[in-house]
Amino acid sequence: MKSLSLSIALFAVSVLTVSAQDTAVPQANNGDSAALEQRIKDLEERIISLEGQVRVLKSETSSAQGAASAAAPAPQPASTEQPAATPQIGEVPAAGVTQTPTYGGAGGAAAKALNPDISVIGDFIGAVGGNSPPPLASVQPFPALQMHESELGLQAIIDPYARGDFFISFGEEGVDLEEGYITFTALPQSFVAKAGKMRSVFGKVNTMHNHVLPWVDRPLVTTNLVGGEDGIDDAGFSIERILPAPKGIFLEATGQVFRGDADGVFKSWQNSNVSTVDHLRAYRDLNESTNLDVGFSFAHGYNDADPHFTTNLYGVDATLRWKPLRRSIYHSFIARSEFIWSQREQNPSEQRAFGMYASADYQLGRRWFLGGRYDRSGRSQFANLTDTGGSIVLTYWPSEFSQIRGQYEFTNYAEGRNSNQLLLQLIFSLGAHGAHTF
């Protein structure tokens, strides 16, 4: 702000000088007026350049102050009445921690500039129909109406070396840290590392938050073999790197080590029971509008049957995308499939289950999407019990920030019971939610 007013002042002074010169030479001839015009132009250039510098300074100062306030320990915890974040921000320079100039003092705008990007995404689901006869223990039908999830996202660049992302998920019954991790972006040798709690890179669906799924619910194979909605979402660290490959092929390897807890999949009985997830991704542009994305995943960890028993998961995923660039906001098509094999040690015998889904989504127009999904999956503990199902999904986007979706879902459970459900979902997004990876 100071710089801004500075530049305005500068402008005023310059204009005055110019007009002063103007009056000093009453009979300005053509040459003079051309010179004056040039001067005014030069001044204009200077103002535009100063305005640009102000914008840069503003953003730099806010991140510097953010770093300073994060680095500086809370000065005196004595005043306990003081509410947490916002008022402290203004005090940082006053406390003499840094001598960075303030722009706009401790005003609202400056305080906001220090905040991370904050977003909330609501996921409201209504359901009609359900299982017949009454529900099975292993199956969780949707209640009639529920505020399924409210995801709070807090994202910011931490310092020149890292960024931080938090996604806190408020369900109907409790709060869960869905993800919270630091990403080191400035490592040597093109490595990218993460540490914290994160959704593991096992396949595609496991990495996705609810609001980016092309369906209301997750495929049967996710529920039966990969831990359901939460999936393999655990505390640990991750390291990834792009590998050398023939021209035009993107090859990326990711290795992750987790504590070893993922409900329904892994259980850590002792500290050495860590789980690992490895993923290899190959991607290629077939042409400018079509591309193919293939992944291979492997996960290993101890399971809840016994402290000595482990589970291995093998996955293959393939995605074909089409989006004509000239009409990219109107039409697109995505076909995706994942195949997952589960190998679970338990008594009396090891269970080897297989599951898969195949889905396709076509964008009919700027706001309409039509999709379908086929499901088939064994169960991790009872490999010979296979559930099958299918869905038809219609999605409408009033804007980029809200979405209305209807899904008809039919499931045939291994025990011979059926479920017919009509799901209605409303997703709405507030604030600045960071873009998702492709």
Partner 1 sequence: MKKLYTHSRLAVLALYMFIAAVIAPNVALAKTLDIVTATTDMAALTQEVGGDKVSVESIAKGYQDPHFVEAKPSFLLKLRQADLLVTVGLQLEIGWLPPLVTQSGNPRIQVGANGYLDASQFAEILDIPTGAVNRAMGDVHPLGNPHYWLDPDNGRRLAKGIAGKLGELDPGDAAYFQQRFQDFDKRLTAAEQKWDSTMKPYRGRKVVTYHNSLPNFAKHFGLNVIGYVEPRPGIPPTPSHTLDLIGLMKKENCKVIMVEPYFDLKTPNSIARETGAQVVKYLPSVGGEKEVTDYFKLFDYNIDLLTKAFQ
Residues that bind partner 1 (CB under 8 A): 45, 48-49, 51-53, 55-56, 60, 63, 157, 160-161, 163, 183, 185-188, 190-192, 240-242, 248, 250, 252, 281, 283-285, 288, 291, 293, 321, 323, 325-330, 366-367, 399-401, 432, 434-438
Give the residue with the Cβ less far from partner 1, 335 or 414. 335
Give the residue with the Cβ less far from partner 1, 313 or 334. 334
CA separation for the pair 148, 414 (Å, rounded): 27
CA separation for the pair 194, 164 (Å, rounded): 9
Give the residue with the Cβ less far from partner 1, 156 or 360. 156
Tell me how far, at minimum, the Cβ of 297 lies from partner 1, in Å. 16
Residue 393 is encoded by which pair of tokens?
């999904």
Q: Are strands 418-431 and 402-412 parallel, antiparallel or unpaired?
A: antiparallel
Question: DSSP letter string over 298-350?
Answer: EEEEE-TT-TT-EEEEEEEEEEEEE--GGGTTT-EEEEEEEEEEEEE--SSS-
Tell me how far, at minimum, the Cβ of 365 lies from partner 1, in Å. 9
Q: Are strands 249-258 and 275-285 parallel, antiparallel or unpaired?
A: antiparallel
Give the residue with the Cβ less far from partner 1, 18 or 187. 187
Give the residue with the Cβ less far from partner 1, 27 or 399. 399
Tell me how far, at minimum, the Cβ of 264 lies from partner 1, in Å. 29
CA separation for the pair 196, 181 (Å, rounded): 4
H or E stretch covering 240: strand 233-243
Give the residue with the Cβ less far from partner 1, 84 or 325. 325
Tell me how far, at minimum, the Cβ of 157 lies from partner 1, in Å. 6
CA separation for the pair 64, 324 (Å, rounded): 41
Tell me how far, at minimum, the Cβ of 228 lies from partner 1, in Å. 26
* Structure-token match 């589960």, residue found: 342
Tell me how far, at minimum, the Cβ of 13 lies from partner 1, in Å. 20
Tell me how far, at minimum, the Cβ of 326 lies from partner 1, in Å. 5
Give the residue with the Cβ less far from partner 1, 2 or 55. 55
Residues 6+ apart with CB under 8 A from 299: 200, 202, 232, 265, 266, 275, 276, 277, 278, 311, 312, 313, 315
Give the residue with the Cβ less far from partner 1, 300 or 323. 323
CA separation for the pair 285, 263 (Å, rounded): 37
* Structure-token match 């722009």, residue found: 103
Tell me how far, at minimum, the Cβ of 241 lies from partner 1, in Å. 7
Q: Is the dihedral of CA 125, 427, 183, 314 positive or negative?
A: positive
